[in-house]
Structure 1
């Protein structure tokens, strides 16, 4: 077999990638030489680079090209050949995939500490994705892949990840977005990261696109605080809500009496719920820095357990019955204050009856609702007058 037998020379050079994981592929000659005049086929989304003696000889874009000393003058200069030299030659051909790589993900391996105006120091974690492609093959070979026979997306991900995480951390810290508003700022944060990363990736011959922030997670304690703040906003007036909850927990007192139910159990449940609601309210106020709602009654005289004697306070001057505050008592426990309108609603719902003890400012003592002038009318009848005083 002669030295110039064409079977030992390569006439056609091409790369048919079997998967999308390869970014750079060095053409395998199998120790064969490339024939002067061989055909170099470069497909769409590919670029071919000829390297001779460690120097970049030429770059070929999609199409079919003839490799010769005529169209690769640098090759002739390096070899010391004259143009048109017809001998075979050995050189390196690298193919570069120029399609966008869309399966690159990023995520914070450790929590990032940030200072937040609402919650102080918080730790967050985040993850997302981004797309890149090679837009300068020569720079990419010089700065990133080198002379590896193959360079994969996994290898590229390892090289780019430190820059991605560093830029994301800097962007998030400088943005100073409150923790409560992070969810609505994903796009703005991602766009800013993309701009900063492109400045860095230009040095590698890489173009970045679609930097996406998919999730930013807050610690469980901060999430619970956000949920509690949302609940407070939904409740509105805590005092009114607390009264409503206690009223529900009291159950149908009147019905319980008529059916032989345990009034004590019902009252105890109401007391327990009231205590729980008060404790929860205090905890939320301390954590959130909130004050009690201004609508709560101010400077209200607390009802005595069982006032007696002539020293009871006089009625509130000029106050309409609907504006007066009544307290309910049962088995030594007291609830309220309630307006007359609220008591009217409880009567209609069967929660209180004529035997329920009631007191308000100006009354000398606790009295059954059925015997007190202002509350007896709630039951559809007039108050039963008290027994006459003993003769003097």
Structure 2
């Protein structure tokens, strides 16, 4: 005979579980008079036959026909009002989950107006909250059959990457332009996510794009485009400098506003001047002075820092690294600097 459940509760030691099912193995035997303990930042959702039914808020509850009317009506029709009855209790964490990581598991393809096709990786953070527990349980637990928090996180990350890819396709911007558009990209992806996540009971509180990194073959294509004159060399160096500034602003230990998902695009060291320089390649009618002036020694140093970072992460080969490093050290000399100081 199945064990009768007299008390059901879930103590989340980590505070990071999004959902938890009791009993974990499936429906259990409850009876009127059983106790349900719901802790702060939790709601308990009674679940049966693939549907979310009654919701209990934080506190200690004794199961009666009064506090589970939907379930009582259902089991009344099925069992004539007799107990025990079978059900599950899904505990949903309603806290704000902040600084969650997302990224492209593999390089993604997108159509670039300059490079034709390009491959890149992207990463960032997001914050979310379960706003409608019953809807969330119906859509995720009931329809998707997902019970584990890790599965839910993977589901959300996959959704985020898809919306990011969709937005890149809609914007039709080149990889050379993207470093100046992180704020616009972040805002656009957040809006798309809230439109769709609202349908499953979730709300995206913040979304930040921290880095876009081309693959090694795409980096070579960018250099070739520069060599062929499709993009000016100075503009390519400015692109690299912008990337370096972005990486620096979101590196571990940097407590910029962007790292918390707030005020994206501020406090990054990438002001309007840099944004203008990156976009100058696509607006040749503007003079270089309007785009922030000629390439500076500091911008070349930033590009070298970015090269070091990408090499340390294994994104470019040693041969490619040495070739680019020599090129930029020569540029340092042209600008009157000492390559040994960079």
> How high is the TM-score relative to the length of structure 2?
0.55
- State yes or no: 1:19 paired with 2:7: no
Deviation at 1:28, TM superposition (A): 2.5
Structure-to-structure mapping, 1:260-275, within 5 angstroms: none
Structure-to-structure mapping, 1:297-308, within 5 angstroms: none
Which is worse superposed, 149-158 or 44-53? 149-158
Which one of the candidate residues 168, 172, 177 is aligned to 1:172?
168
Structure-to-structure mapping, 1:1-392, within 5 angstroms: 9-28=4-23, 33-80=29-76, 88-102=84-98, 103-107=100-104, 109-117=106-114, 121-146=117-142, 151-218=147-214, 219-221=218-220, 222=222, 225=226, 228-229=233-234
Deviation at 1:204, TM superposition (A): 1.8
Structure 1 portions without partners, runs of 5+: 234-287, 291-392
Which is worse superposed, 31-40 or 63-72? 31-40
Deviation at 1:94, TM superposition (A): 1.4
Deviation at 1:46, TM superposition (A): 1.0
Q: Is the 8 A contact 1:25 1:150 kept in 2?
A: no
Distance 1:190 1:69, change over 3 A: same
Structure having greater relative contact order (Cα 8 Å, sep ≥ 6): 2
Distance 1:195 1:72, change over 3 A: same
Q: Is the 8 A contact 1:131 1:211 kept in 2?
A: yes
- Secondary structure at the residue paired with 1:133? strand
Distance 1:132 1:73, change over 3 A: same
Whole-angstrom CA distance in 2 between matches of 1:202 and 1:144: 13
Deviation at 1:195, TM superposition (A): 0.5
Distance 1:120 1:71, change over 3 A: closer
Whole-angstrom CA distance in 2 between matches of 1:99 and 1:197: 19
Whole-angstrom CA distance in 2 between matches of 1:73 and 1:196: 36
Larger C-alpha radius of gyration, 1 or 2? 1
Whole-angstrom CA distance in 1 between matches of 2:144 and 2:173: 43
Whole-angstrom CA distance in 1 between matches of 2:10 and 2:70: 24
Quote the residue 1:372 is aligned against: none
Whole-angstrom CA distance in 2 between matches of 1:28 and 1:229: 63
Distance 1:108 1:116, change over 3 A: farther
Q: Is the 8 A contact 1:22 1:150 kept in 2?
A: no
Structure number with higher helix proportion: 2
Deviation at 1:93, TM superposition (A): 1.4
Whole-angstrom CA distance in 2 between matches of 1:33 and 1:227: 71
Q: Alignment RMSD, CA only? A: 3.8
> How high is the TM-score relative to the length of structure 1?
0.49
Deviations 1:101-159 (A, max 9, x none): 34341216123233235x55544332223223322222222222239998233211332
- Secondary structure at the residue paired with 1:215? strand
Aligned residues: 226
Whole-angstrom CA distance in 2 between matches of 1:227 and 1:113: 22
